[in-house]
Amino acid sequence: MSNSAKSHIISINSKDNITSNNSDAVYSFRQIDLQECIGVKLKDVAITNLIYNVENKVNDVLDYDFNGTAKSITIPQGAYDASTLLTTINGLQTDLVLGININTQKYTVTSASNSFLKASSTIKKVLGFVVDTTPSTSYELPFPFDFIRTHYINILSNLSDSNACYSSSGQMHNLIAQIPVVLPFGYILSRQEENTSADHHIFLQNVNLTDIKIKICDDDFKELSLNGGDYVLSFVIYKR
């Protein structure tokens, strides 16, 4: 950054969002002089981790076949562990009985008649399978259960170019920060950047910042619900 550039810290508090959704938010800076900005750099992030590992309309459906009849249940969203999810699924239907193999950390399934779990289930990754299981009255799912909803919180913003990040899926994203989810539900995820941070962006031309957009996404760059969790983001803005 040029030695003649002036720097300012801007602080974004989710409580000041002018939309109704903190995961896809807009913050107004129209009353502040942010004209002729030439660059931005991430400074600090603090996000309350209220991310559910079973989320409504994302990964909450279990499809299965019992004795030749297709059935389905919807699990209420929440922050589950292996035992609480087992209890919930067993309580929502009477065809299947889930258990836990404590040595393999996998779910087991028993049923009075042949049954199998379907790959159409959106909760399959959590339970530990990816394709239809083999019909049987007693079986263990092929993979350990996985309650990690996302490894990272990806923060997208108009403070960054649309091609700032190239993902392995072949897509481009205006990523401005990536926060690892290293603490459990209810804890604050934080990150502080040093002067060598790579989370910075140089504008190709002077930019007049009025509204700053912040979108919170998961590993797949899909919008991630924070369930009312607050966050504070701060950036260094460079001006002429």
Closest CA to 46 of 184, 181, 232: 232
Of residues 118 and 34, more confidently modeled: 118
Each residue's pLDDT tens digit, 69-128: 999 999 999 999 999 999 999 999 999 999 999 999 999 999 999 999 999 999 999 999
Digit-coded pLDDT (tens) for 186-215: 999 998 875 444 455 555 445 667 889 999
Give CA separation, 170 vs 6, 98, 152, 191, in Å: 36, 38, 18, 27
Q: How confident is the model at residue 237 (pLDDT cuts 50, 70, 90)?
A: confident
pLDDT at 16 exceeding the cut of 90: yes
Tell me, what's the pLDDT at 75?
98
The more confidently predicted of residues 238 and 48 is: 48
Q: Tens digit of pLDDT for each residue in 145-200?
A: 999 999 999 999 988 878 889 999 999 999 988 999 999 999 999 988 754 444 55
pLDDT digits (tens, 9 = 90+) for 53-63: 999 999 999 99
Answer for the pair 37, 8: CB distance below 8 angstroms, yes or no: no
Domain 6-51+150-239 has CATH 1.10.760: no
Assigned token pair, 77: 């969203």
Domain coordinates in residue numbering, the chain = 6-51+150-239, 61-140
Q: What is the per-residue DSSP string for 87-103?
A: HHHHHH-SSEEEEEETT
Strands of 141-230, DSSP E: 152-157, 165-166, 172-173, 175-180, 188-192, 200-207, 211-217
Q: 36-78 pLDDT, tens per residue? A: 677 788 899 999 999 999 999 999 999 999 999 999 999 999 9
Predicted pLDDT at 206: 53
**Coil, helix or strand for 15?**
helix
- Cα gap 124→112, rounded to integer Å: 22
